[in-house]
Amino acid sequence: MGLKKFFIKKKANLSALPVVGPLSIWILLFVLMPLAVIFIISFLGRDITGSIIPSFSLDNYRLLFSEGSEYAKAILRSILFAFATNVACLIIGYPMAYWIVKHGGRFKPLLLLLVIVPSWSCYIVRIYALKQLVGYPGILNNFFLKIHLLASPVEILYTAPAVVLGLIYIWLPFMVLPVYASLEGINPALLEASVDLGATPAARFLTVTLPLSKGGIFGGTILTFIPAFGDWLVPLLMGGNKVWMAGNFIAHYFIVIGDLPLGSSMTVFLTAAIVLMIYLCIKLGGEEAIERIL
Amino acid sequence: MFIRKPGKTFTGKRVCYALITVLSVLFLASTLFATGAPEKEEDMYDKYAASVPQGCEPVPRECFEQAVAGKTFAMYDWAAWWPEELYEGFSKEFGIEIVRDNYPDLDTALAKFRLNPDTPYDYFLANPKSLWYLREQGNLHEVNHDWIPNANKYMQEEIKSASWDPGYKHCVLTTLGFDAYVINSNFIDKNDPRIPSWKFVFEGGKAYQGKLVMRNEMNRVIGNALKYLGYSLNSTNEKELAEAKKVLLRLQPYIMAFDSWPKRAVLAQEVWVVEGVVHDYLYLGGLIPEGNPFIAAYPPEGCLLSPMLITIPKGGGNPAATHCFINYLYRPENFAKLINATAYGHGHTAVDDLLTEDVKKWMVPPKGYLKKCEVLTPASFTGIGEKMRADIWKELKK
């Protein structure tokens, strides 16, 4: 790089400083610095009262993946639950978004509002509403028992499927919106061209619509898979605290045991796993994935 | 929009100024008349001392003056448990503003102190575990017993020599909870021969068809499994804990949830058996319109005793106010309000006659039962004892 070019680039960077400066300070103070603190603590030890002592070691990381480690199992369980949530959100959310784009007409804003409205209310309130709906005694069970469609109540609450159901319920809108944005952005001329070239509706969907909505799918994946992976409140409320995900382990070590260094090492690993997943989504979904999230 | 025309005065503006002036004068006058001359602290103490009910003692002048000068009293305790009238009465009597903060559970509270030992609370309602931790860290003021004459007078002597606070230096007992279990008699046969033994919980899975909720606290759950096996709930014996783990893993399919306060599920009668502080559920059951279906079971093997203890963290700025509150709370009529509202056990010598019949019935375990109970000791929540329990707990959460 020539010296002149370097200085021109520097100048450009400096002119952007007033815009990105406050944001950078914010990220530095409230994202990077707390992460750095957690990272440092993860290498320290603790005394009998739980206070952190400055003794550097890798013991906490060794403990994470020692033989038969329950944390490693919880990480796998979290990946499984997050994957199931992601797939279910896609299966439910894609047709929803497709239908709104295709048939929403002048009601599109209203339909989108209906998708978004539940996420305006408090997370816990929504989970409790779901518990009232699927629990026993609960609205659905009581109704189906009354009309004799069920002989005995379906007791789904406080099980692993209940946790996945809770995650789907919470994160579904975050799949619908990016997919909707990508479908809405498809140029209708491309679809018409494919028809003119003799594509059947199925072929048109598979060869034109689906590839062009890839960014929305991966954007939705970032918005559903990642939070579902790190969730701990849904397993607590829907799983009756019996089915632990990685987040519950971290909460347990931070709050109950008071082992901040071990809890921090779990957090560092979980954060690293999430960053890797975001990277993969962006790599596979391209820049459009980020655009759809924004 | 107002447009000022040339040659015309803008009367609206003048009216506004006049109104503001009149209102300001009225406000100042009302403030002066309402407050009058500031009351001397001397008079305030005398007035307070004279208002103390017969049979009770006021705090010493020094304590009172320090507390009042502090102006605020920062409390850290459970939400929606103790009757609000206790806090309101204290605030009114001493003219001290109470600033309350609540914890969802004591482990969360302890985590807060771990992260910031100087957390500025004057009052922290602790359990033996958090008391031990804060004491070991040197984060607690010692209680000045000369400043709490009512507690000195009315607290049972045995409580003063309790194991959780050697030397009775760092805390004052409020309530005693028995961490046993309750059954919902609408669904469970109360004549089951295993009741009230722990056998019913740990062997009676079929009787309650998985409608069991256990506390989401490992020391308590594992401790009660140890009690069922006839061991100390603070055991650090590897073999005994291995047996407890086996018992709990056998019980796991019958556990509906781990929840320390399943209020909604209890009121909806989703739960048939609840392991926890029995008084909470007896009281909660009283809210069910069809009648209280809950019956307390005090297992003959013993159970965990949960004392709630007033402590004075060093981070607070008004420890004198905590002493005033303790002294105020220990007046029999105030302590009776607390026990009538919570139905918990206690160590107060003068409240029994002031309690309602229901509360008397719910609160009292069988005679001599206290001797069978244990409180958590550091053996169970530190070092190897904690590690073994954490390992069992993780296996239960699959």
Question: In B, which residues are within 8 Å of A260 by CB distance?
Answer: 114-115
Note whether A81 and A163 are within 8 A (CB).
yes
Q: What is the mean pLDDT of residues A1-29?
A: 70
Q: For residue A6, name the pLDDT band (cuts at 50, 70, 90).
A: low
Residue-wise pLDDT tens digits, B111-170 = 899 888 899 999 999 999 999 999 999 999 999 999 999 999 999 998 888 889 999 999
Residue of B nearest to A254 (CA): B111
Q: State the average pLDDT over residues A18-23.
A: 80
Question: Is pTM, for the whole model, over 0.95?
Answer: no
DSSP letter (8 states) at residue B17: H
Check: CB of residue B212 under 8 Å from CB of residue B254. Answer: yes
pLDDT value of residue B15: 63
Pairing between β-strand B123-126 and β-strand B72-78 as defined by DSSP bridges: parallel
Q: How high is the pLDDT of residue B273?
A: 95
User: What average pLDDT score do residues A187-202 get?
Assistant: 91
Q: Does B217 touch chain A (CB under 8 A)?
A: yes
CA–CA distance, A75 with B86 (Å, rounded to integer)? 47
Answer yes or no: are the C-beta atoms of B131 and B309 closer than 8 Å: yes
Residue with tokens 């598979």: A206
Average pLDDT of the residues in A273-277:
90
Which amino acid type is present at position A116? I
SS3 B166: coil
Which numeric CATH code is attached to B177-303+373-396? 3.40.190.10
Q: Which of B221, B391, B397, B398 to mutate to test the interface with A (most CBs of A within 10 A)?
A: B397
Instruction: State how far the Cα of B348 lies from the Cα of A174, in Å rounded to an integer.
Output: 56
Whether the Cβ atoms of residue A226 and residue A276 lie closer than 8 Å to each other: no
Query: A233: Cβ–Cβ under 8 A, 6 or more apart, which residues?
Result: A123, A124, A127
Q: Which residue has the higher pLDDT, A228 or B15?
A: A228
For the segment B325-338, what is each residue's pLDDT rounded down to a tens digit?
Answer: 999 999 999 999 99
What is the overall mean pLDDT for chain A?
88
Q: What percent of chain A has pLDDT over 70?
A: 94
Query: For the domain B45-170+307-359, what is the CATH superfamily, name and number?
Result: Periplasmic binding protein-like II (3.40.190.10)
A230 has pLDDT over 80: yes
pLDDT (0 to 100) of residue A65: 81
Residues 6+ apart with CB under 8 A from A189: none
What does the pLDDT read at residue A287?
Answer: 73
At A52, give phi and psi (nearest 5°): -75, 135
Amino acid A170 reads I
Instruction: Note the pLDDT of residue B5.
Output: 46
- Give the chain A residue nearest B212 (alpha carbons): A240
B390 Cβ under 8 Å from any chain A Cβ? yes
Share of chain B above pLDDT 90, in %: 65
Query: Which pLDDT does position B7 carry in this prediction?
Result: 46
**pLDDT, tens digit, 9 for 90 and up, residues A243-257:** 899 999 999 888 888
- ipTM field: 0.73
Residue B201 near residue B371 (C-beta atoms within 8 A): no
Q: Is-same-fold flag (B45-170+307-359; B177-303+373-396)?
A: yes
Q: Domain boundaries in chain B?
A: 45-170+307-359, 177-303+373-396
Top-confidence residue, A277 or B314: B314
pLDDT, one tens digit per residue, over B176-199 is 999 999 999 999 999 999 999 999
Mean pLDDT of A206-219: 92
Report chain B residues whose CB lies below 8 A from the CB of A73.
Answer: 398
Choose among B161, B78, B180: nearest CA to B347: B161
Q: Which pLDDT value is given to residue B4?
A: 46
Asked if A70 and B218 come within 8 Å (Cβ–Cβ), the reply is no
Fold topology of A69-293:
MetI-like fold (1.10.3720)
Comparing B97 with B267, the larger pLDDT belongs to B97
- Check if B263 contacts A (Cβ < 8 Å): no
**Cβ–Cβ of A242/B258 closer than 8 Å?**
yes
Q: Is the pLDDT assigned to residue A150 strictly greater than 80?
A: yes
The DSSP bridge pattern shows strands B255-258 and B212-214 to be parallel
